[in-house]
Structure 1
Amino acid sequence: MRIPRITLISPTGALGMGFLDESLERGIALKPDLIACDAGSTDSGPFYLGSGTPKMSRFAILHDLRRLLSARDRLNVPLIIGSCGTSGVDSAVDWMRELALEIASEDGLKFKLGRVYSEQNPEIMADAFKSGKIEALPGASELDEQTILNCSHIVAMMGHEPIVYLLENKCDVILCGRASDTALFAAVPLMRGFIPGPVWHCAKTIECGAICSTITRADGVYAEIDDNGFSVEPLALDASCTPLSLASHTLYENADPFLIREPSGTLDTQNANYHAVSERKTRVEGSVFRPERYTLKMEGATLSGFQTITIGGVRDPYILARIETWLAEMRVFFKERLKELTGKTLGEEVRLDISQYGRNAVMGELEPVPEEMPHEI
């Protein structure tokens, strides 16, 4: 007979961001059935995928991973880490394994470890593109075969199925390549037969830890799922999960907050109801999951060049009064010196981007007050 509810902990938004030790202890005391944590993102751009290097330091990863492995050992529940090493390339999964084994040796921990790779062969992907098996995502730039072949790394964002396979093979610690954040939290509940609607919506809500609460620092949340819905509360006592904070999280990294795509289908939150259970906990009911044709999002990165950043400040009121003319003259000077010193042509081999922070740098042409001039840039 299946248990009536399942409980989960999302300790932080990303492995290496940290969390309060007292929050994790509070979570352990609640005896969750699963601990899961994302370790990657595309938010920081293509560099980490292209280079295959992690954004978070080894020290930061060790700090968080050591505490989560200890918590897993105390609870005897699965620990699932997704998108290892920021991008989820194969070498990053292996690197995370080395760190986990290092911690196990130092702390006397024993566990069965499983790995799921997500990296794809560019030549196979190019053939798939030629045969029409790769479709562009909405808003994607034009893709061609050579761009695919030029990729240093290509990863496929996996769903929950490979994770379930390792869970069924009794793995205690699962390290994933590039994975849907939600899949990490959905795998155990789906494997145990819980209804997909509440499972996927809960997973989407808690994927980034305490971001779905009223605090902004890195920390965790605790969730309970049953067949009618789910509830979420923060692990930090100075935070709350309100109907507004949970509902607004569906806007996070989604073009449509009501229809959220996963590899195996779409989460539909249009009829979801959010109501406060207490000052700190909110319950959600009414979300459904609609199975659809299985697809995997592919992410690739190619070397497009090398970047140098120069920061300069201008406080001179004379220059600020004619800033556009001054910048145009600087661009001409740069173009001439570039040709003289390197033989390269600005606009063809080299790109020069100038951002005036303090004046339209963030919103550009969308800035509603473009004419206001600060006293310094």
Structure 2
Amino acid sequence: MRTNLVPLDTKKTYLVTGAAGFIGFHLTQRLLSQGCSVIGFDNLNDYYEVSLKEERLRLLACDNFYFYKADLADKKALDDIFEQHAIDYVINLAAQAGVRYSIDNPYAYLQSNLVGFLNILEACRHHTVKHLVYASSSSVYGLNSKIPYSTTDQVDHPVSLYAATKKSNELMAHAYTHLYQIPSTGLRFFTVYGPYGRPDMAYFSFAKRIMEGKGIKVYNNGDMWRDFTYVDDIIAAIERIIPNPPEPNEAKDRYKIYNIGNNKPVRLSRFVEILETCLGREATKEYLPMQSGDVYQTYADVTDLMKDFDFKPDTPLENGLASFVSWFKSYYQL
């Protein structure tokens, strides 16, 4: 473990983009609970139900939380926030999400994930920021066949535009770190799930359809493996990483990438069984072939995370899905 690790500084100001999103909400809630000042930034787009995003914001409302509704692609809106607030740490979780959606809506990804991220980098360049932490994705591993996926693996074969934009973010951050000495850390998240999650994710949409008595589509006949990672584990990792920028590498750049995954893939068919048990209902299943943009397996090597922070996600899927279902039934009054 790194010997110079420090805890979160509650006297600093944290900008969280995508604060009304799934991971952004949980991170902001955690920072606020510690007494930190948080600036939230989100465009509240209608990729999924806006009411859920508004409910997350309602729960975050307090004296230490300042929210701005704006789009990352709006450079002036972002620059104005940096002018008005002395921002110490930037956690960029705003992005157009969804692998399958990127096939039909490519321009949404270029605006949010590339233009928006460039605006973040430029803002960090022109203001003194102690650390930029940003969301990447396990999707960057694409067609890689070697498992588990390591951050030292080549990631040159994305199978979706979403994955390509996330890989681009890593390259852009590397360039800005090298050119302008902005400490940056990219986080490759692996299939995050939990309460207040994203309705477009399989676990959420499956739960909704099962409770409505509708059938679910199970791709590749259930023979796909995912490294499901509970959201509390994701937040615990981010909380450790934010106040501890990377140490200089051989090129003297303070740049790092981490996998954040459960390090224990579960077969899709087994995942459905666990969800059925938690819901107390059996699903009507329609088995289909693999979809374009999907990969057969995700599996995170978290060696670096363990080595640097003495931490790895470890919430069993049974426990995490039980927590999600408890929230889900309460939220939808089922």
Question: TM bucket by the smaller chain?
Answer: 0.3 to 0.5
Answer 1 or 2: higher relative contact order, Cα 8 Å, separation at least 6.
2
Structure 2-normalised TM-score?
0.35
Structure 1-normalised TM-score?
0.32
Bigger CA radius of gyration: 1
